[in-house]
Amino acid sequence: MSSLPMQCSTIDPPGAAIRHYLMLAKPGIVLGNMVSIAGAFLLASRGSVDISLLLTVLLGVSLVVASACVFNNVIDRDIDAKMQRTRERALVRGLISVSAALAYASVLGLLGIALLVAKTNLLAVAVALAGMLIYLGAYSLWLKRHSVHGTLIGSLSGAAPPLVAYCAVRNQFDLEAVLLLLIFSLWQMPHAYAIAIYRLRDYRAAAIAVLPVKRGVALTKRHMLAYILAFTAAALMLTLSGYTGMAYFAAALSLGAFWFCSAWFDKSANEQAWAKKQFVLSIFIVTALSLAMALDFMLPAGV
């Protein structure tokens, strides 16, 4: 591993250390996951919501996600040093030591898992741990750097937070859980590819083995269209399998069609602008879909 640049001569203003630790946990990712966590939890609850359990799951899973993000920052500090958007991160600049970051990540993770162990069930805990292991082990330590398939494997960990929420309520891994896994994993693919195209120069500089770096933007766009179609089909299966109503079906179909048309018909010559638009749209899509599944659930027959 190449030596990392140290820029410790700058004196940070008071309170900066707190901000550095906060940013190490990638709060944007943590907050973004809360939407899908709540959506899956409310879908599983079928209108009988345990508020205490919901808050516990939100906090517990958020702590686990934050822990994984800090561990990821430690793993990626050599890559981050090569990319313009990440070269000012605290670990790259030497403002936080590796040992301090590892301790911080461990405390966050242990607190999150402890909450899930105390208030949920072993299945939910197992899903949370599996998601973390896939993200840090298979994805961050190896596939991200060496294989274009890293995004696909990493998408499984991205689907873990809502799956933990579902399992915390239902305590079973049934067809509905499989569909949620498919929905949120498939959503991750065009979302992640949009980021890779938008940040293509950085990804090339760091030699990250994402599809647009290895096989070009044109092919990546075609893959995005295919994944958007697959995501839409998986989302519609919630209704076709009897778990959600027709309002959700209409929302899922409209959202999927809108996303596909936006990606297909926008022929902007500026690929970065196109990718940024798709990234923002992907956030809107998953937020709206999570809201729809939370509101338009179907009660089991006889209830």
pLDDT digits (tens, 9 = 90+) for 236-262: 999 999 999 999 999 999 999 999 999
Is 106 within the bounds of a domain? yes
Q: Does 301 score more than 70 pLDDT?
A: no
Kindly state whether residues 161 and 202 are assigned to the same domain: no
Kindly state whether residues 202 and 220 are assigned to the same domain: yes
Q: What is the 3-state secondary structure (H, E, C) of the chain?
A: CCCCCCCCCCCCCCCHHHHHHHHHCCHHHHHHHHHHHHHHHHHHHCCCCCHHHHHHHHHHHHHHHHHHHHHHHHHCHHHHCCCCCCCCCHHHHCCCCHHHHHHHHHHHHHHHHHHHHHHCCHHHHHHHHHHHHHHHHHHHHHHHHHCCCHHHHHHHHHCHHHHHHHHHHHCCCCHHHHHHHHHHHHHHHHHHHHHHHHCHHHHHHCCCCCHHHHHCHHHHHHHHHHHHHHHHHHHHHHHHCCCECHHHHHHHHHHHHHHHHHHHHCCCCCHHHHHHHHHHHHHHHHHHHHHHHHHCECCCCCC
Kindly state whether residues 48 and 26 are assigned to the same domain: yes
Measure the CA–CA gap between 86 and 208, rounded to whole angstroms. 14
Q: What percent of the chain has pLDDT over 70?
A: 94
Query: Does this model's pTM top 0.75?
Result: yes
Measure the CA–CA gap between 56 and 118, rounded to whole angstroms. 9
User: What is the per-residue pLDDT across 44-100, written as a single tens digit (0 to 9) for each?
Assistant: 999 999 999 999 999 999 999 999 999 999 999 999 999 998 999 999 999 999 999
Kindly state whether residues 158 and 187 are assigned to the same domain: no
Q: Does 4 score more than 70 pLDDT?
A: no
Kindly state whether residues 189 and 141 are assigned to the same domain: no
Is 25 within the bounds of a domain? yes
The domain of 61 spans 17-147+154-170
Please tell me the predicted confidence (pLDDT) of residue 3: 39
**Number of structural domains in the chain:** 2
Please tell me the predicted confidence (pLDDT) of residue 181: 98
Please tell me the predicted confidence (pLDDT) of residue 44: 97
Measure the CA–CA gap between 113 and 107, rounded to whole angstroms. 10
User: What is the per-residue pLDDT across 131-147, written as a single tens digit (0 to 9) for each?
Assistant: 999 999 999 999 999 99
Across residues 205-224, what is the average pLDDT? 95
Residue-averaged pLDDT of the chain: 93
Please tell me the predicted confidence (pLDDT) of residue 280: 97
Kindly state whether residues 158 and 231 are assigned to the same domain: no
Amino acid type, 247: A
Is 45 within the bounds of a domain? yes
Measure the CA–CA gap between 121 and 14, rounded to whole angstroms. 42
Kindly state whether residues 106 and 179 are assigned to the same domain: no
End-to-end distance of the chain based on CA atoms, in angstroms? Answer: 60
Residue 223 — left, alpha, or beta (φ > 0 → left; ψ -120 to 50 → alpha)? Answer: alpha
Kindly state whether residues 161 and 190 are assigned to the same domain: no
115 in Cβ contact with 53 (< 8 Å): no
User: What is the per-residue pLDDT across 161-193, written as a single tens digit (0 to 9) for each?
Assistant: 999 999 999 999 999 999 999 999 999 999 999
- For 40, 78, 214, 229, the CA distances from 258, given in Å and listed in that order, are 23, 38, 29, 11
Kindly state whether residues 119 and 189 are assigned to the same domain: no
CATH number at residue 89: 1.10.357.140
Q: What's the token pair of residue 226?
A: 């295919």
Is 1 within the bounds of a domain? no
Is 12 within the bounds of a domain? no
164 in Cβ contact with 61 (< 8 Å): yes
Is 23 within the bounds of a domain? yes
